[in-house]
Amino acid sequence: MYKILLLLLISSFCFAGPVDDFMTAGKKVIERGYPSWQVEVYKKYIDKPEKLTVKMAVITSYNGQESCGKIDSHNNPCTEKTAASNKIPQYRYIWTKYGLRRVLDTGAKSNDIKAKSMGADLWIDYWYPSPKNPVQGWNKTPVVILNP
């Protein structure tokens, strides 16, 4: 019993940082008042840490200059709201150090296999309009998943 409690205590400290970072980013966006879609999302989750799940992810990027980077899985144009993931439900919001996104696309299953080989729980692809963006290569980082 004590081992379980100790494990829970340690795991909560390991992932407190990403939740705190999410809350800090959210407060800044709310104070600034834009982008409006982000203000709405942050207001919904800012004081509800019980609705947040933290996992380890590998983040990559794709862009509007790639053939797969024009239309998402729902036949809508990709935008800077768009992220792809195979293991996070579609339409779920996510947050990493690269910002807030919504899962609206999917990718090759091999991405999940590579992420697992890197010690991550899942893979996420952030969409950007061009190849010049902050996500270069395969980046292991915590992801905050915003649950309904």
Task: Write the DSSP symbol of residue 50.
Answer: G
pLDDT number for residue 43: 97
pLDDT number for residue 67: 87
pLDDT number for residue 16: 67
pLDDT 10s digits, 59-91? 999 999 998 899 999 999 999 999 999 999 999
| Cα separation, 19 vs 25, whole angstroms | 10
Task: Please give the mean pLDDT across all residues of the chain.
Answer: 91
Residue 132, Cα to own-chain centre: how many angstroms? Answer: 19
pLDDT 10s digits, 3-41? 443 333 344 444 469 999 999 999 999 999 999 999 999
